[in-house]
Amino acid sequence: MNAPTFEIPAEMRDFAEKSVDQARNAVGTLIGTAVKASEQTQTLQSSMQGVVAKGLDHVQTNANATFDFAQKLVRTRDLREAFTLQAEFLKSQMAALQAQAKDLGVLAQTAVKPAV
């Protein structure tokens, strides 16, 4: 006794083949996009490391300026000298902070630009 044979219609095979090709292309596109996103993330991370390093440089500079001010302040002889010293310190620190903010802003824009 021969078992009945079931033949898959050509249209169904063509449809299945096209579906597999479409799935393969979709997965390839997805993987390609993921790789590109990963590369952009790595670029952004390395750029941001530069921003963080520069920020830490600024923190060190500001800490040193504050300690220098504190040393000078404890050596003052009267309130007038202390207030004058404090006013000079505040003026110089405001200028330094403005320059540092501008510097970090430029670095951050540069870091983000390649990834966008």
Euclidean distance between CA atoms 9 and 16, whole angstroms: 11
19-25, long-range: CB within 8 Å, 24+ apart, which pairs?
none
By three-state DSSP, how is residue 1 classified? Answer: coil
Of residues 62 and 114, more confidence is placed in 62
What pTM was estimated for this model as a whole? 0.61
Euclidean distance between CA atoms 116 and 109, whole angstroms: 10
- pLDDT tens for 20-38 read 999 999 999 999 898 888 8
Model pLDDT, residue 114:
55
- pLDDT tens for 40-87 read 888 778 877 888 888 899 999 999 999 999 999 999 999 999 999 999
Phi and psi for 89 in degrees, rounded to 5?
-65, -45
Mean pLDDT is highest, among 9-13, 100-104, 112-116, for 100-104
Crossing angle (nearest 10°) for helices 79-112 and 10-74: 160
- Per-residue confidence band for 9, with pLDDT thresholds at 50, 70 and 90: confident
By three-state DSSP, how is residue 75 classified? Answer: coil
pLDDT at 5 over 70: yes
CB 112 within 8 A of CB 40: no
Let me know how long the chain is: 116
